[in-house]
Amino acid sequence: MPDQPAPTIQTDGLVQRDRLRDAARLLREAGAGGLTRVDLRRGLGGVSLRTVDRALALLEEQGACFERVRSGHPPCLRYVLTEGPSWDEHVTPEDRLALGLASLMLTQSPACFLDDHLKTIETLVAGRMSARDQSLFETLQKVVQVHGGVEDSIEPGKVLEPILQALETGMELKLTYRPAGSTRAEARTVVPHCLTLDIFSGGSFLAVWDPRDRKPKHLRLCRIQEAVVGTRPGVILDLPAMTNAAKYQIGGWTCGEPPFPVRARIQGTHWIEHFREAPPSLPDFEAREKEGLVEVRFKANHLNGAARWLLQFGALAEVLEPRELRAHIKQQHLQAAAQYQD
């Protein structure tokens, strides 16, 4: 499908282009307070009210949306811009703040190598920000702190670019990878499926199909020392297993088996509030409040993955199903308690 031409400012000879652009900017910077026709007239350099009306009509014709609010004493009509015209290239304060938060979080994750590229994007959009919007972003940089992150060393040119190329072209990937607990790296040929960022383990992973072992695997990016795009197309022999491995992994623990449902009771008023306000991003997560506790349900495909999340609640959590997970967590608690025997 051919690219659509970018929308352009249409004035129909009624208003100067720069004035129409300035009208959109003034309304945008006014925010929720909006502007009256007189405010706009003053902001546009003392033009006539007829010019103001023409500018408002042209903006609406070109996609702008206004909320008309009466306020003040005596009440007067104020125009609140809720959506800019189709040609507006403005980056909203919310977009900019989201960009800044993404940058802050990436610096505290194994994906920190993307931070420099994100800062380049910030520089490009900075020219489209008003002074008010820029002030919001600078405040964000001063007051937001990110805790609990990790710093892993990843070389983007040596690792990330070949991985993305292989994912794009569907080719095999030749890796030099150091498994956990080993001091030596080994050569592997895999078929890349997707990249995952797991918050629970603080890790970035590459989900791959291993043709040699004929099963899916989850490789931590920081252990990949080198990656080269192969010469053969990559073939995933069991796509459902590969999809399960990537979709239902928790904390980096995964396998290709179909997921099993997990059901657990968690006590504590603060946890009930927590699940209501900020439910975790677990596969198919649900939380149901029941008389001073919350019953959570989600899916996993590895006992260690589900246990990794549930063990943080200590005695406040009780696993109801599956039976294997209940026994697994019981054993974990027994072994932990044994270390504190005098």
Q: What is the predicted pLDDT for the residue at 1? A: 42
pLDDT tier for residue 53 given thresholds of 50, 70 and 90: very high
Residue 181 backbone phi and psi in degrees, to 5: 80, 0
Q: Is residue 310 exposed (0-12), middle (13-18) or buried (19+ Cβ within 10 Å)? A: buried
Average pLDDT, the chain: 82
Could you give phi then psi for residue 29, rounded to 5 degrees? -70, -20
H/E stretch holding 40 reads helix 37-43
CA pair distance 194, 175, nearest whole angstrom: 15
Specify the higher pLDDT residue, 300 or 136. 300
Q: What is the DSSP letter of 160?
A: I
Mean pLDDT in residue range 41-62: 93
Confidence of residue 36 (pLDDT cuts 50, 70, 90): very high
Cβ(174)–Cβ(189) below 8 Å:
yes
The CATH number assigned to the domain with range 17-83 reads 1.10.10.10
The predicted-structure confidence for 114-171, as pLDDT tens digits, reads as follows: 555 556 556 655 655 556 666 666 665 666 555 555 555 555 557 888 888 899 899 9
Q: Residue 108: what pLDDT?
A: 47
The least confident of 73-82, 141-150, 241-250, 272-281 is: 141-150
Q: Which residues contact 93 (CB under 8 A, 6 or more apart)?
A: 129, 132, 133, 136, 137
- Lowest mean pLDDT of 134-138, 160-164, 197-201, 305-309, name the range: 134-138
> With 90 as the cut, is the pLDDT of residue 77 above it?
yes
Question: What pLDDT, on the 0 to 100 scale, is given for residue 255?
Answer: 83
What local confidence, expressed as pLDDT, does residue 10 receive? 84
Percent of the chain with pLDDT over 90: 44
DSSP 110: T
* Calpha distance 209→4 (Å, rounded): 38
Retrieve residue 307's tokens.
């246990």
Distance separating alpha carbons of residues 334 and 322, to the nearest angstrom: 19
Which DSSP state fits 314?
A: G
For 200-246, give the DSSP string. Answer: TTTEEEEEEEETTTTEEEEEEGGGEEEEEEEEEE---S-HHHHHHHH
Alpha carbon distance 12, 127 (integer Å): 28
Assign domain 156-240 to its CATH architecture. Answer: Roll (2.30)
* Residue 13 pLDDT greater than 70, yes or no: yes
User: What average pLDDT does range 261-266 have in this prediction?
Assistant: 96
* CATH class entry, domain 260-338: alpha beta
pTM for this prediction: 0.60
- Would you say 56 and 39 are in contact if contact means Cβ atoms under 8 Å apart? no
